[in-house]
Amino acid sequence: MRIAILLSAGRHAVSGRPAPVSVELQAIRLARELIRQMAGEVDGNAAGDITGFHAGPDAGPLKDALGHGLPRLIQLSIGAQDDPLPSLAAALGAERFDLVLAGRSGQGGEDAGLLPYALARTLGLPIVADACALAAGPQHGTVSLEQALPRGARRRLTLRLPALVTVHPAAPAPLPFAFAAMRRGMLETREGVPAPRAAGEVEERAYRARPKLIAKSAAGASATERLKAATEAASSGGRLIVDPAPEDAARAILAHLRQIGVLRD
Amino acid sequence: MIPPGPPATPAAFCLSLVILSLAGLALALAARRARLWCVGRGVRVEWVRGLLALPKRYLVDVHHVVGRDPFAARMHALAAGGLLGGSGLALLALIPTLGGARLYWAVIALAFAGALAGGVMVGRRRYPTKPARLSGGRFQILPFLLTAYAAGAMLVAFDAALGGALPALAWPALALAVIGGLGLALQVDRGPMRHAFAGATHLVIHPRPGRFEGERATDLVPLDLDAPRLGVATPSDFAVNRLVGFDACIQCGRCEIACPAFAAGQPLNPKRLIQDLAAAIQPNAANAAYKGSPYPNARAVAGIGGPDLPLIGAGAMIHPDTLWSCTTCRACVEECPMMIEHVDAIIDLRRYQTLELGALPAKASPPLMELRYADEPGGRALAARTDFAAGLTLPLISATGRAEVLLWLGEGAYELRYGRTLRALVTLLHTAGVDFAVLGPEERDCGDLARRLGDEATFQRLAAENIATLARYSFTRILTADPHALHALRNEYRAFGGAYEVIHHTALLDELVAGGRLTVGALHEARVTYHDPCYLGRYNGEIDAPRRLLDRLGLARLEMERAGKRSMCCGGGGGAPVSDIEGERRIPDIRMAQAAATGAGIVAVACPQCSAMLDGVTGERPEVNDIAELVLMAVEAGRAKAARKDVARKDASRPPEPVA
């Protein structure tokens, strides 16, 4: 089992200092526990390997991820303004990874979290978002994962590998930092693929926590109704179809996309 | 060959020979044990200095601790003095001129009579009921062996002193002495007698010799972060003199009585911990021989070990919960008559768990992570540290670059409760006209929490950065209301190049009141008891200034049963609140009950941790007030009184108003 983990150059929400991103550290833990589970009682690294990938100009602050249980980190050296996607796609494409893990979004704020999707498309991998638990699947070459849905709901999926999975903050907390593990961990620097992004002014702003959205229907309504809207599963007007025929499912999805205006004829 | 000149009696001569062979046996067993110590890391020891200092260390420093229990002190003086003195003299009787003298044997008989009295006292302490703090097993047969050996040898010597008048008594007595003596000698490598030679060696090569020279010597030893292995995983990672220290333990159980975690039913018993560490140094070690009180609510462990096997873990000797229950209050160290350094051992073990394995309690990890990236265990903005002082003037040292006194705010500043204390302190400083300033957003955490949780890397980084910050400013001394910060700044930064004069706010306020810069009125009729913070009292020996200050406020000061350097911890130190190991009771509840038992209406505290822990106690209880708050109340009371006097004086000077 070979697992790759994508790491981004995060910053601490208050101090603004370089800091690893929690959800990516949680991905390291999921990967380690998956490998340990597959190997039984054998030492973690015997049954597989975990490699971290970071495309960026400086891997220094990411060394701390090595202290959270990542044995090896590869930095793909690119310019600060370069797009990391080609570098990551080239590096991941060159080696065969069974599973690629990424955070659902880097900092968890206003991040787009698009990179995993773009990468999955480039590599031609299926992508599953928001995993909060990973386990060996029923057959060889599969993993069983729990997907975190809004309001604490969980959905169990079986996924055929290779695949790309993004990790949700509801996954178990990161492994505690071990200074000596960071010291032992391997950091390798490779040349990345220079990919200058289209010039455009990028505005940098201090991080702020994303405000909690209140369901629109309840805005301005009575306190009871707002409470109800905040605590009960909101009906988004969708339809639950259990075990449908693929054609029916596709038709339902298309109908829904048309209804909400994503697809236009 | 029979020496020239007849010995006093044949039995006496045999006694000397028996003692010679027993001494040989004891030495062989001691050497076997001492060889095991050599698995430890080599360490530079000043042997000559230690050996020369041994008599003073033993007779003064050890006695000072043992003497807190006068019965035990007398018992030990008689048993050990009589045993060693009598045996030594009897050995010298092999010299013909001495061995032939009847008076000499009378002296020997007297020495053994002392040993016999000591042996009887040992027995009286253990029978009919053994106090819970004492260990059983081999320790329970110790009084019989002691009395048998001492009584037998005494009778042989007595017979020799009489010139062999009682041969029918002498030979059975010799047999008794042989049985008792053999039993004692066989206890040298594993039984209670081990403490005799290991204890003496420990006093010679003690890892903190400063403790015998009047220093508090409580700062933790810095860890070399480039060492191949960080902290202690196996007995062979301990320095030799630490291993000797574990063997010095006589299992008297004074530590377990003093330990707050033990009292709270958390799985820590310092005595058992030291015994587990001592047991683990031999190959194929097991923890089954221990017969004292267990770890309360002990978590199951395999109980196997060896010089190169791990010490901590469910499959080893000691469960991790035991390690993380410690509040690092040093009460066990303060009580230990053998001067064993329990807290150092715990921190060494924690360092390995934290730095090498990352095996911290789940809740202890997030604060350390925040410390790494925000320099503050709560992950709060450093600039928010001064928020408590909204509305007060709080000068920043960066504005002028210098101040007479640098006020170190510490972690407590973020808490609402302790913010009140700091507001009182700042108000008092303004009132007294002290030239002071704070670092404001430049003040990082002092690193105490990280260090006690074993995260030496974070501590050393914070220490280096704080020292660099402090180097930019000029000040004569640092004032802090947090004894943990005080200890770090005063004692632990020294190893990293930061030497400061650090003063606790109780000492400064005492100075200000004594010097007349603060005028206090009496707080009448308030009964107050003072809770010594461990890091101020035990770690830094400052127990008088807070008491003096309270007395100046006109308060009726009551002492708790455990006070001063022997005070009991509030449960807030050593990262215990974040480790949060489950027990039966809460440590602050126990301490608050002790405070309430004095009948005081106020518990005076002088530390943000104590303040938070004790103020968290629910139910009917005394008020918790920091000394700074009490001083401010007294200053305000004084001001009100002066104002009343003023008004009265004006009233008196005014002409009487005409009566209508």
Give residue-wise pLDDT tens across range B221-265.
999 999 999 999 999 999 999 999 999 999 999 999 999 999 999
- Tell me whether B230 touches chain A (CB under 8 Å): yes
Q: What is the pLDDT of residues B19-70, one digit of tens each?
A: 999 999 999 999 999 999 999 998 888 889 999 999 999 999 999 999 999 9
Q: Reply yes or no on whether the pLDDT at A41 is more than 50.
A: no
Closest CA in chain A for residue B364: A176
Any CB–CB contact under 8 A between A176 and chain B?
Answer: yes
On chain B, the residues whose CB falls within 8 A of the CB of A18 are 373
Chain B window 473-532: which residues touch A at a Cβ cutoff of 8 Å?
Answer: none
Asked if B365 reaches chain A (Cβ–Cβ under 8 Å), the answer is yes
The pLDDT of residue A223 is above 90: no
In the prediction, which pLDDT does A42 show?
Answer: 47
Which of residues 60 through 89 in chain A touch B, CB cutoff 8 A?
Answer: 64, 67-69
pLDDT for the residue numbered B552: 92
pLDDT at position A111: 66
Q: Exposed/middle/buried for B216, CB within 10 Å: 0-12, 13-18, 19+?
A: middle
A236 touches chain B (CB under 8 A): no
Q: Is A45 strand, coil or helix? A: helix
Q: What is the pLDDT of residue B165?
A: 84
Would you place residue A216 in the very low, low, confident or very high pLDDT band (cuts 50, 70, 90)? Answer: low
Whether residue B382 contacts residue B409, with contact meaning beta carbons closer than 8 Å, is answered with no
Mean pLDDT for the stretch of residues B463-480:
97
pLDDT-wise least confident of A33-47, A126-140, B369-383, B430-444? A33-47
Q: Is the pLDDT of residue A227 over 90?
A: no
Confidence of residue B3 (pLDDT cuts 50, 70, 90): very low
Contact partners, residue B100, CB within 8 Å, separation at least 6: B5, B6, B7, B8
Question: Tokens in use for B9?
Answer: 């009696």
Minimum Cα–Cα distance from B458: chain A residue:
A179
- B470: distance to nearest CA of chain A, Å? 20
Q: Is A180 on the interface with B (CB under 8 A)?
A: yes
pLDDT of residue B18: 94
Is residue B279 within 8 A of residue B285, CB to CB? The reply is yes
Mean pLDDT of all residues in B177-183: 95
* Subunit contact A17:B373, Cβ cutoff 8 A: yes
Q: Is the pLDDT of residue A43 over 70?
A: no
Using DSSP, state whether B402 is helix, strand or coil. strand
Q: Does the bond joining B546 to the residue before it have cis omega, within 30 degrees of 0?
A: no
Q: What's the CATH architecture for B230-359?
A: Orthogonal Bundle (1.10)
Query: Average of pLDDT values for B552-569?
Result: 94
For residues B99 and B111, the answer to whether their CB atoms sit within 8 Å is no
Parse chain B into domains and list their residue ranges: 10-203, 230-359, 372-511, 527-637
Of A15, A178, A179, the CB nearest to B375: A15
Is the model's pLDDT at A110 over the cut of 70?
Answer: no
CB contact under 8 A, B230 and A179: yes
A195 burial (CB, 10 Å; 0-12 / 13-18 / 19+) is middle
CB contact under 8 A, A176 and B373: no
What residue ranges of chain A are covered by domains with CATH 3.40.50.620? Answer: 2-191
Nearest CA in chain B to A15: B374
3-state secondary structure of A211: coil
CA distance B75 to B72: 5
Identify the top-confidence range among A7-16, A218-227, B294-303. B294-303
Nearest-Cα residue of chain B relative to residue A25: B369
**pLDDT at res. A225:** 76
Instruction: Beginning with the edge strand found earlier in the chain, give each strand of the sheet holding A72-77 in spatial order.
Output: A154-160, A142-148, A127-136, A163-167, A99-103, A2-6, A49-56, A72-77, A186-191
- pLDDT surpassing 90 at residue B155: yes
Total beta-carbon pairs less than 8 A apart between chain A and chain B:
59
Q: In this predicted model, what pLDDT tens digit does every residue of B310-337 receive, in sequence order?
A: 999 999 999 999 999 999 999 999 999 9
Residue A235 has pLDDT above 80, yes or no: no
Cβ neighbours of residue A183 under 8 Å, at least 6 residues apart? none
> A2-191 domain in CATH 3.40.50.1820?
no
Q: Is B74 helix (H, G, I), strand (E, B) or coil?
A: helix
Alpha carbon separation from B591 to A12, B583, B586, B598 (Å, rounded):
39, 15, 9, 11
**pLDDT exceeds cutoff 80 at B342:** yes
Q: What is the pLDDT of residues B189-209, one digit of tens each?
A: 888 899 999 999 999 999 999
Interface test with A, best of B372, B375, B456 (most A CBs within 10 A): B372
pLDDT of residue A184: 92
What angle do the packed helices B138-161 and B10-37 form, to 10 degrees? 150
Q: Which fold has domain B372-511?
A: Rossmann fold (3.40.50)
By the CB < 8 Å criterion, does B465 face chain A?
no
In chain B, which among 376-395 make CB contacts under 8 A with chain A? 379-382
In whole angstroms, what is the distance from residue A175 CA to residue B583 CA?
25
- Contacts with A173 from chain B: Cβ below 8 Å: 362, 365-366
The string of DSSP letters for A154-197 reads EEEEEEESSEEEEE-TTSPPPPPP-HHHHHHSEEEEEE----BP
| The predicted structure's pLDDT at residue B476 | 97
What is the arrangement of strands in the sheet containing B527-530, beginning at the earlier edge strand? Answer: B556-558, B527-530, B602-605, B623-626
CA neighbours closer than 13 Å in the CB half-sphere of residue B200: 10
Structure confidence at residue A265 (pLDDT): 72
A-interface mutation test, from B223, B372, B373, B578, most A Cβ less than 10 A away? B373
What's residue A72's pLDDT? 94
CA–CA distance, B430 with B438 (Å, rounded to integer): 13
The set of residues, in sequence order, having a beta carbon less than 8 Å from that of B432 and lying 6+ positions away, is B512, B517, B518
- pLDDT bin (cut points 50, 70, 90) of residue A90 is very high
Examine the pLDDT at A217 and tell me if it is beyond 60.
no
- B355 touches A178 (CB < 8 A): yes
pLDDT band for A153, please (50, 70, 90 cuts): confident
Q: What is the mean pLDDT of chain B?
A: 93
**Segment (H or E) for A148:** strand A142-148
What does the pLDDT read at residue B570? 96
* Residue whose entry in the numeric block shows the structure tokens 């196996």: B234
Phi-psi domain of A127 (left: phi exceeds 0; alpha: psi -120 through 50; beta: other)? beta
Distance from CA of A235 to the nearest CA of B (A): 36
Q: Is B286 a residue whose pLDDT tops 80?
A: yes
A179 close contact with B: CB closer than 8 A: yes
Residue of B nearest to A67 (CA): B358
- Which residues in chain A touch residue B355, judged by CB atoms under 8 angstroms apart? 178-180
Q: What is the tens place of the pLDDT at every residue in B99-138? A: 888 899 999 999 999 999 999 999 999 999 999 999 999 8
- Whether A178 and B380 lie within 8 Å, measured CB to CB: no
